[in-house]
């Protein structure tokens, strides 16, 4: 794929303009702006309802410099497949030029849960598009409720840590592997630890014929209860602790993109966020849940590396 000159790419006109109304420190616009650095014009964007959509399309304004289609929480997959199919049909009649890229995005609520059926159908049908999930591990647009992406023990408004439960009781759904199970040409998982990795993965996704899926872990400063300035620091902890493995699946072959030389304990990642603060109070001292989180991370990493090889 070649190298990525991030400094040069930041000087290009990005489809997502400045002046949006996302919160300071939100990882979603950072992820999408980096993603679009890997996509050459022309591009058509489909956005599921969610934080990023509502904050970039406040009527009568828009932060999008390219054709943008807002759809419901549940049907971004169907909408982008319809747009791609229409372009293909009209292209056969000479009405459109070739080379247009089709990108859909949604948060984890609109991807892991509400929009999963629509996304699965689009992947199975084989339309030529890229779906990007900006995954902040909860329903931020509607008040920080738990989603299928929320990790075990995280406190949310619908799984609050207290006397009855210590945060969410269930493990997060592994949507990256669910997408890979559709046997599509390209699937990737990354975060904001390294802009060049994110850009290269999205570039590969859009340049691969057929459906592609990219799952990007992004912090929500409000839900994760972090300093907005620590956005990248938290993402590096996610990668260095292997809480969020950085890898890709290209034509069925898994490749590890980043292997930390000295993995840090997942406790370091948890302790840096207020949504896990209940695990570390003197009264609670939930060492059992911290150990369980480490065991979960170790088991997932062993499973992944047993079916993957380091990226060359």
The bridge status of strand 43-48 relative to strand 68-71 is: parallel
Q: What is the topology classification, in CATH, of domain 6-310? A: Rossmann fold (3.40.50)
Domain boundaries, the chain: 6-310
The residue with tokens 């229409």 is: 86
pLDDT, residue 96, reads: 78
pLDDT at 184: 98
Residues forming a β-bridge with 70: 47
Amino acid 105: pLDDT: 97
What's the order of all strands across the beta sheet hosting 130-135? 68-71, 43-48, 101-107, 130-135, 212-217, 186-191, 246-250, 253-258, 308-310
User: In tens digits, what is the pLDDT along the chain, a chain of 312 residues?
Assistant: 457 888 888 888 999 998 899 999 999 999 999 999 999 889 999 999 999 999 999 999 999 999 999 999 999 999 999 999 999 999 888 887 778 999 999 999 999 999 999 999 999 999 999 999 999 999 999 999 999 999 999 999 999 999 899 999 999 999 999 999 999 999 999 999 999 999 999 999 999 999 999 999 999 999 999 999 999 999 999 999 999 999 999 999 999 999 999 999 999 999 999 999 999 987 667 999 999 999 999 999 999 998 766 666
Residues 130 and 206: beta-carbon distance below 8 Å: yes
């Amino acid at each position: 794929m070649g190298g990525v000159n991030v400094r040069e790419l930041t000087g290009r006109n990005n489809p997502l303009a400045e002046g949006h109304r996302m919160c300071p420190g939100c990882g979603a616009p950072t992820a999408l702006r980096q993603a679009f650095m890997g996509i050459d014009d022309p591009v058509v964007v489909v956005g599921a309802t969610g934080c990023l959509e509502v904050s970039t399309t406040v009527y009568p304004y828009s932060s999008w410099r390219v054709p943008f289609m807002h759809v419901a929480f549940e049907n971004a997959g169907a909408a982008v497949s319809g747009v791609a199919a229409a372009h293909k049909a009209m292209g056969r009649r000479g009405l459109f030029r070739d080379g247009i890229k089709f990108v859909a995005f949604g948060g984890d609520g609109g991807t892991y849960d509400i929009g999963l059926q629509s996304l699965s159908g689009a992947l199975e049908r084989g339309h030529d598009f890229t779906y990007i999930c900006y995954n902040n591990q909860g329903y931020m647009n509607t008040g920080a409720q738990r989603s299928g992406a929320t990790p075990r023990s995280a406190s949310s408004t619908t799984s609050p840590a207290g006397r009855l439960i210590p945060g969410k009781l269930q493990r997060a759904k592994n949507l990256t592997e669910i997408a890979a199970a559709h046997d599509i040409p390209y699937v990737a998982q990354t975060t904001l630890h390294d802009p060049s990795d994110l850009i290269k993965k999205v570039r590969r996704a859009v340049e691969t014929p057929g459906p592609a899926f990219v799952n990007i872990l992004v912090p929500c400063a409000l839900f994760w209860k972090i300093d907005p300035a620590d956005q990248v620091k938290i993402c590096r902890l996610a990668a260095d602790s292997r809480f969020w493995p950085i890898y890709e699946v290209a034509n069925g072959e898994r490749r590890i993109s980043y292997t930390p030389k000295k993995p840090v304990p997942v406790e370091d990642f948890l302790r840096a966020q207020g949504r896990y603060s209940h695990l570390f109070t003197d009264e609670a001292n939930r060492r059992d849940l911290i150990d369980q989180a480490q065991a979960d991370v170790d088991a997932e990493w062993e499973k992944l590396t047993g079916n993957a090889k380091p990226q060359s």
